[in-house]
Amino acid sequence: MLGTGVKLIRKDITEMHNNYALILAGGRGTRFWPKSKKGFPKQFLSLDNKESFLQITYNRIAKVLPEDNIYIVTTESQVNLIKEQLPKISSHQIIIEPIGRNTCPAISLGMAYIQKKNSNSVVMVVPSDQLIKDELTFVDKARKAFEYARLHMSIVVFGIKPTSPHTGYGYIKTRRSSLEIQEVIAFVEKPQKETAQQYLSSGDYYWNGGMFVFSTAVFFAELKNRIPLLFDQMCTIQNAIGTEREILSINNIYPQTNSISIDYGIMEHADKIMLIALDVGWNDVGSWSSLYEIMEIDEYGNNFQMADSVAVDSTNVIGFSNKLIAAVGVKDVVLVETDDVILLCHKDSAQKVKEVLDALTAKGRDDLI
């Protein structure tokens, strides 16, 4: 019996060391402008002057698997920021995109590196800028996802239990089951309000949080079937990893890849995907209006960060400024001040902040974005 126990412990340790994470940290976070800019994107911001989104994500994942197995895919301009915020991470754990090419090429590049290091690897892919309140439950679900993905050679997605008929998220439809792991029927695009309400009422739909677990073998088998050109490009890059041709190969080939999302490229077409439901206080903090859901507010729904404030007959006001904010007779407003920009918007229009960047680009004001 003692020998059997030792074997089980060794098996658990081996499986743990085959578990990896790939954090996607190359985004711009345009809907969090003007705090999020090219030189300091959203994932490096802190809402409470403590940990940044990236640091929170890294520390959460470190509870699931060894820190040496956490990899980050990002762009050249963000490497120094990552090293500053995560001083323990090694250079080989930072995978650099020479140019932004959406989630499918970014994940493929990361998977090529991880598979080169460990052909038995199972990888959890996560965004770098989400918040989760109940981390204990998340850690438990993540370990179960790793185990299922390994044993069944399956893709496992985390579905977020919806709390409202949100129109800003994609949805995942499942086959109703009492089991903890459910079969995915379809990935659904962002719906209109009425349709989102139907999804919420049915109980068969989950928000797509963009978190997946799969072995590198399963991932590349799907990539070969769905996007053979990208598969061939990644094979060429992988063959060059660890040689003097590595950087040249990536710089020559990666810009030729097509910009495509992981959902559209693989998830919507994969043969079999399973879902583990998460009810963990998840929030993707996708826009300034998300702060109404995650930040402490006073009895009038107001929250003012980094400054003194006076609110008179004002409700649902979010303010970020180093100056005193005096709000009089206003409601449902977001005010954000930086050194060179003041943003003022209605909370229901926060998703449109990206349009401001488009307008600034058209005016040649790249210095502000």
Query: Which tens digits make up the pLDDT trace of 18-35?
Result: 999 999 999 888 889 999
CA separation (Å) from 226 to 96, 213, 263, 264, 338?
24, 18, 12, 10, 44
Q: Are residues 317 and 255 in the same domain?
A: no
Would you place residue 258 in the very low, low, confident or very high pLDDT band (cuts 50, 70, 90)? Answer: very high
Q: Are residues 275 and 292 in the same domain?
A: no
Q: Are residues 345 and 315 in the same domain?
A: yes
What pLDDT is recorded for position 168? 87
Which among 138, 185, 191, 127 is positioned nearest to 161, based on CA atoms? 138
Six token digits for residue 177: 């089951």
**pLDDT exceeds 90 at position 132:** yes
Q: Between 3 and 286, name the one with better pLDDT.
A: 286
Mean pLDDT, rounded, of the chain: 92
What pLDDT is recorded for position 306? 61
The residue from 230, 255, 283 where one domain ends is: 283
Q: Are residues 265 and 313 in the same domain?
A: no
Q: Give the domain range for residue 315.
A: 288-368
Six token digits for residue 39: 């030189």
Q: Are residues 138 and 98 in the same domain?
A: yes
What pLDDT is recorded for position 2? 44
Q: Are residues 274 and 344 in the same domain?
A: no
Q: Are residues 269 and 355 in the same domain?
A: no
- Region 329-339 average pLDDT: 92
Total domains in the chain come to 2
- Label residues 120-146 b or e (16+ Cβ within 10 Å = b): ebbbbbbbbbbbbeebeebbebbbebb
The residue from 239, 257, 283 where one domain ends is: 283
Q: What is the percent of the chain where pLDDT is above 70?
A: 95
What pLDDT is recorded for position 88? 94
Q: Between 286 and 135, name the one with better pLDDT.
A: 135
Q: Are residues 101 and 242 in the same domain?
A: yes
- Region 148-159 average pLDDT: 97
Would you place residue 291 in the very low, low, confident or very high pLDDT band (cuts 50, 70, 90)? Answer: confident
**pLDDT exceeds 70 at position 6:** no
Q: Are residues 276 and 309 in the same domain?
A: no
Q: Between 280 and 309, name the one with better pLDDT.
A: 280
Q: Are residues 157 and 60 in the same domain?
A: yes
Would you place residue 307 in the very low, low, confident or very high pLDDT band (cuts 50, 70, 90)? Answer: low
pLDDT in tens, 341-355: 999 999 889 889 999
**pLDDT exceeds 80 at position 125:** yes
The residue from 243, 260, 283 where one domain ends is: 283
Cα 212 from chain centroid? 10
Q: What is the percent of the chain where pLDDT is above 90?
A: 76
* Residues paired with residue 346 on neighbouring β-strands, in sequence order: 333
CA distance 106 to 317: 37
* Range with the poorest average pLDDT among 44-53, 58-67, 124-133, 139-148: 44-53
**pLDDT exceeds 70 at position 4:** no
Q: Are residues 91 and 175 in the same domain?
A: yes
Q: What is the CATH number of the domain that holds 231?
A: 3.90.550.10
**pLDDT exceeds 80 at position 8:** no
Q: Are residues 178 and 309 in the same domain?
A: no
pLDDT in tens, 219-232: 999 999 999 999 99
